[in-house]
Amino acid sequence: MRIGITCYPTYGGSGIVATELGMELAHRGHEVHFISYANPIRLDPDTPGIYYHEVEVSTYPLFQYPPYCLALASRMTEVAERHRLDLLHVHYAIPHSIAALLAKQMTTGRRLPFVTTLHGTDITLVGADRSYFPITKFSIEQSDGVTTISEYMQKRTLEFFGIDKPIEVIHNFVNCSLYRPEPEAQSRGRKRIVHISNFRPVKRVLDCIHVFAKVREQVDAELHMAGDGPDRGPAEWLAQQLGVEEHVRFLGKQDHIYRLLPRMHALHLPSEMEAFGLAALEAMACGVPPVATRAGGVPDLIQDGVDGFLEPVGDIDGQAKRLVSLLTDPALHSSMSRAARETAMKRFCTDLIIPQYEQHYRRVLAG
């Protein structure tokens, strides 16, 4: 198949999943064309079968805001016709699915269906905005196929928009050969906790600092903060105020998370909302147990007390207690590490999930 993929190229779950999906599809013999305003952060352009097409947005004095959606639709049409794409797969509803709908209507001489994958905040935040509600609902209804990443998101979308359209749950995935444990890497130095996100308020980055300060009262540990965003400055200030700044490392955006994770002993994911929890899955594949919040689709992934821990949102003491237990009880850490890896291997490896996307594409192409 020849597939066009559009996603936000920034540091966030939807762009990461879309990029990893495209590369896995290319490895399976498909031709994949990424169409976006910038090269996605994890995209390896040297991968055979991968092509990148930049969307250029012209600025004119008449436009207060550059019309990216229109430029994207034009570029989608151009790429689809030139490279004879079989379908478009867009990640995040607005504006990508609307651009895909325009491209479908503009493409002449052949059918160009499109699939929309809903990742979370395109429904819970953007779609919930009154000004975007009608067009978000319309874009879902007009999609030739719709997928989402968790049972929670499927239920939330159907109920919130009141639509009568099948939405297939295809969970996020991880390359279990690339993301794998390295026990010798954990044996060196202090105990290490990692947090990975785009540092938006919904990720509750400040909770990481509060929890870590409590962990430091009992464990000689380090906190590694991977990512960047609006709450990085407040998090750095809070670490200083709580006297733990010397033990917190802000790493910025990381292109090679699979190199970082195996050195960690636990992952902390205190989010107010997660549609799935991709960072937790990648950590689990590396044998790093997650301490996360019981929010959104995270329970689809983590079995509390088996392969990770789930605590209420904002429960600083509870989350700190779980992290301390993982860092101080070798038997607990060992058993939970094995269980986390096993969950990733048996339920979320690429060999299990990517074929589900291929089957979905075939159904869409069959009309």
**φ and ψ at residue 233, rounded to 5 degrees:** -60, -50
* Angstrom distance (rounded) from CA 149 to CA 105: 27
- Domains of the chain (ranges plus CATH)? 2-173+350-365 (3.40.50.2000), 183-347 (3.40.50.2000)
Measured in Å, how far apart are the chain's first and last C-alpha atoms?
15
The CA dihedral of 279, 280, 286, 288, to the nearest 10 degrees, is 130
Q: Are 340 and 316 in contact (CB under 8 A)?
A: no
* Angstrom distance (rounded) from CA 61 to CA 67: 12
Cα distances (angstroms) measured from residue 224 to each of 192, 242, 245 = 7, 16, 11
Q: Are 279 and 301 in contact (CB under 8 A)?
A: no
Structure tokens at 217: 């009262």
Query: Tens place of pLDDT for every residue, the chain, 367 residues?
Result: 999 999 988 766 778 899 999 999 999 999 999 999 888 878 887 889 999 999 988 777 777 777 888 999 999 999 999 999 999 999 988 899 999 999 999 998 889 999 999 987 767 665 566 788 888 899 999 999 999 999 999 998 988 888 888 999 999 999 999 999 998 887 778 999 999 999 999 999 999 999 999 999 999 999 999 999 999 999 999 999 999 999 999 999 887 899 999 999 999 999 999 989 999 999 999 999 999 999 999 999 999 999 999 999 999 999 999 999 999 999 999 999 999 999 999 999 999 999 999 999 999 999 8
Residue whose tokens read 């066009």: 4
Residue whose tokens read 């939405």: 167
